Amino acid sequence: MKKSDRSVTIKDIAREAGVSISTVSFAFNGTAPVAQETKERIFEVIKRLNYQPNSAARGLVTRKTNNICLFTPHPASDFFSFSGNSVFSDLLQGIGDVLDQRDYNLLIAWDNLGHKAKTPKLVKLMRERAMDGVLIALPSHDSSVIEELSEHQFPMVIVGTNDRKNQINSVDVDNYDIGYRNTKHMLGLGHSRIAFISPGPLEFLVCEDRLEGYRDALQEAGIKYREDYVFIGDEKEHSGYRAASSFLSLKETPTAVVSGRDIQAVGVLEYARENGLSVPNDLALISFENTELAQKYNITSSTTDLYEIGKEGAKLLHKVLTRKKDRSAQNVVIASELIIRSSCGAKPKS
Amino acid sequence: MKKSDRSVTIKDIAREAGVSISTVSFAFNGTAPVAQETKERIFEVIKRLNYQPNSAARGLVTRKTNNICLFTPHPASDFFSFSGNSVFSDLLQGIGDVLDQRDYNLLIAWDNLGHKAKTPKLVKLMRERAMDGVLIALPSHDSSVIEELSEHQFPMVIVGTNDRKNQINSVDVDNYDIGYRNTKHMLGLGHSRIAFISPGPLEFLVCEDRLEGYRDALQEAGIKYREDYVFIGDEKEHSGYRAASSFLSLKETPTAVVSGRDIQAVGVLEYARENGLSVPNDLALISFENTELAQKYNITSSTTDLYEIGKEGAKLLHKVLTRKKDRSAQNVVIASELIIRSSCGAKPKS
DNA sequence: CTGAAAGCGCTTACAG
DNA sequence: CTGAAAGCGCTTACAG
């Protein structure tokens, strides 16, 4: 192990196999025909010496790194805490499954606020060509970084709500539509006083979309949108609790709640329990995500399959990376399904 | 934007600034003295043209990639589900904070079982020199991959329990000691029938360590270790519930439980509530991790600061990467603190 | 303080 | 089917 400081290179293989380095390259990459006999000799040596081409050298000439970056334009803490457990790991897993299979490495990066002086990390990664393409998770309105990559036509796919449809590739469920349909579902059950809990700050596009779906469904039903029926929650159960508390202290209390995420719905349930309210009789409840929580607490919820989003996002990026001519942006919509459980079931009292 | 297909290179800067490429390199990297005036001219051009050295070209000669890999020798799903939400994001954040500051990129990889035919991902990354070093999370007994990297003296740090102390760098809390002290705490309160819930399969070294600490504390107190007082749980609350149910159906029921992780303790609490048992009067409870759950449910728990582990792990790896001569392996122990809450407080009934 | 040149380890025309 | 040569974009002795 003393001399293994110096890795084995293509020259070593060539010498040992008695051929030129081009032939080794052709054989290894299958990029030109090589005599069967020669090929066998070469591969024997490759195996014996544990040869693996140096990625920097190869990348220098091919202009590819085989690195894909998963990026989120937020401080890591915000991203992870907003996403919650399963959400993030599901997304990562979907991405990872595809990249593994196609032999890409996964880089992970986020915006380091506080370092605002330096060039943003993602821009640096692009300029120094440290990655071939990027998956953007949880985009927000302020997207100067995305803009910059976009100007340079850097390959990217947004996994999540996309502000600029038809300009940038994206994969997501249709949060607007789910918001719309969840609300519609409550309207269909006879509710007219329907409140909404945002899954997080409206700065996150996904939150805005869900809210707008809610708003438009109300409007279509001729119901006025009221500010006091909207609560901006966060990723904690307690924000659902506080939302419920806020709604139910109004003069005219809502009879139904469209919760922005399952864990908030759990908070609503908790408040209802403590205050002797029956769900769905006193308060009907519907949510987004359909996580394990929804199942555990019997909450009606619309699926948002993050694994699928990750998988399709990675696939799309790979497609972009391997096709010759650029085509117009593609916006993939992952189907969502409403899983009906007891929390929304009954007609309202009034 | 038409001609930006071709990135700007060091040649462009040299030409534009009227100097040689070596001088540009010296100025940019501060690696040799450059006349103030020349320097200014060069940096003006660099700024104007948005120059950033190509990482592959640079890496080819420096033999550094500035990529660090966070690796776990498990399928991603196992890793994430075992770790749970905050655990993983805390670790990642600690690592990220350090890496950000020191200008490393973070690669993330896991073992793709099912692909057992191919060379393991991490070995491939090492051989093709796609990363400078690796942080290993959640190591297990079967560590042929770690062994291989270790033989090649590839820079690595284990963030988590380390099987081969004093051979491989590592950073962790002392899980054995916490297991020992948690158990000791219960003994000190007068308990003698103390059960243990493993946080996961013993295949994970962290689980084994916690269990051994428990076992040794008992032994030291002259109490016999009983198999039926040990339950192998998992990352789900329900495993705590099942553990409690199993313990309390024994002929001789335990009066205290050392829970392997907070969420299991919550499961124990749930079982106790359903069965009219008082905690801590009928069953005293102590746990590991001290997550938000411990606070919410008033569970006595020992801290395991994953953020700190990640941070120190990244720091140690950076140290290994930048020092000239190798020194012997270093094993950093992160301090743990026992946070006493009501779940353990009272003396046992018997 | 500055430049010309070699070389890092590959791939890819080009010629045969 | 195979090899010699150029070149990817840098860094780093070496000379001056």
CATH number at residue A33: 1.10.260.40
Q: Encode pLDDT of B269-308 as tens digits.
A: 999 999 999 989 999 999 999 988 899 899 999 999 999 9
Compare A288 and A325 and report the one with higher pLDDT. Answer: A288
pLDDT score for A308: 95
Question: Looking at the domain assignment, is residue A58 inside a domain?
Answer: no
What is the number of domains present in chain A? 3
Q: Are residues B169 and B152 in the same domain?
A: yes
Q: Are residues B289 and B224 in the same domain?
A: yes
* Burial A77-94, CB ≥16 within 10 A → b, else e: bbbbbbbbbbbbbbbbbb
Q: CA B81, CA B146: separation in Å to the nearest integer? A: 22
Mean pLDDT of chain A: 89
Q: Which residues pair with A194 in a beta bridge?
A: A256
Residue with smallest Cα–C1' gap to D11: B61
Q: Which amino acid is at A330?
A: Q
Q: Are residues A230 and A312 in the same domain?
A: no
CATH of the domain at B156: 3.40.50.2300
Question: Looking at the domain assignment, is residue A60 inside a domain?
Answer: no
Query: Which residues lie near nucleic chain D, judged by CB under 7 A?
Result: A 18-23, 26, 32-39, 57, 60-61; B 6-7, 9-11, 21-22, 25-26, 28-29, 31, 51, 53-54, 57-58, 60-62
The owner of tokens 């990363």 is: B131
The full length of chain A comes to 350
Q: Is B106 on the interface with A (CB under 8 A)?
A: yes
pLDDT score for A79: 72
In chain B, residues 45-104 whose CB comes closer than 8 Å to chain A: 50-57, 59-60, 65-67, 76-77, 80-81, 84-85, 88-89, 92-93, 96, 100
Task: Residue B234: give the domain boundaries.
Answer: 175-303+338-344
pLDDT score for A20: 94
Q: Encode pLDDT of A158-212 as tens digits.
A: 998 777 767 889 999 999 999 999 999 999 999 999 999 999 999 888 899 999 9
Q: Closest nucleotide to A7's CA, by C1' atom?
A: C9
Which among B57, B107, B128 has CB closest to A53? B128
Q: Encode pLDDT of B68-121 as tens digits.
A: 999 988 877 677 766 665 667 788 889 999 998 899 999 999 886 655 557 888
Q: Are residues B214 and B296 in the same domain?
A: yes
Q: Are residues A91 and A111 in the same domain?
A: yes
Q: Are residues B38 and B134 in the same domain?
A: no
Count CA within 13 A, CB hemisphere, residue B53.
19
The answer to whether the beta carbon of residue A62 comes closer than 7 angstroms to any atom of strand C is yes
Q: Are residues A47 and A119 in the same domain?
A: no
Which among A92, A100, A106 has CB closest to B107? A106
Question: Looking at the domain assignment, is residue A180 inside a domain?
Answer: yes
CB A84 within 8 A of CB A288: no
Q: Are residues A78 and A121 in the same domain?
A: yes
Q: Are residues A182 and A252 in the same domain?
A: yes
Residue with smallest Cα–C1' gap to C3: B20
The phi, psi pair for A251, rounded to 5°, reads -65, -50
Q: Are residues B150 and B204 in the same domain?
A: no
Residue with smallest Cα–C1' gap to D6: A61
